[in-house]
């Protein structure tokens, strides 16, 4: 029985359709990763080289951060896939609770400039 463990498989246990879907998912993840690296570099270059006005720097970085968050949730947390209904519900409820709490804390502290 242990003799078969050292031999390689002649064919994958996955079907051709599963292999095709896995390869497509890997391509999408690589593209999403490259896009996130680009967004990070764009934020650093735009602020570092003063390409954007100083008053718009923080909203610009926040916009890029939300785009990155969206990409990470979809492609690396797999929230776009089926059978993730509970995870989606918890993430949505967390955002519904977190956004007003952060806004209220900003108002209480007096950080709101925008």
Question: What pTM was computed for the model?
Answer: 0.64
Region of residue 50 (left: phi > 0; alpha: psi -120 to 50; beta: else): left
- Identify the band that residue 113 occupies on the pLDDT scale cut at 50, 70 and 90: low
Which pLDDT tens digit goes with each residue over 30-68?
A: 999 999 999 999 999 999 998 999 888 888 999 999 999
Structure-token match 């709101």, residue found: 112
Query: Which has the higher per-residue pLDDT, 1 or 48?
Result: 48
Residue 73, pLDDT > 70, answer yes
Produce one character per residue of 20-30: b if its CB has 16 or more CB atoms within 10 Å, e if not.
eeeeeeeeeee
């Amino acid at each position: 029985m242990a003799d078969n463990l050292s031999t390689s498989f002649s064919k994958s246990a996955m079907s051709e359709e599963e292999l095709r879907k896995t390869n497509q998912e890997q391509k999408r993840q690589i593209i999403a990763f490259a896009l996130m690296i680009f967004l990070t570099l764009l934020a650093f270059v735009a602020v570092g080289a003063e390409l954007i006005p100083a008053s718009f720097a923080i909203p610009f970085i926040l916009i890029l951060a939300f785009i990155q968050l969206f990409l990470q949730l979809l492609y690396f947390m797999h929230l776009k896939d089926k059978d993730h209904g509970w995870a989606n519900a918890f993430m949505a409820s967390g955002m519904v609770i977190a956004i007003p709490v952060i806004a209220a804390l900003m108002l209480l502290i007096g950080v709101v400039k925008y």
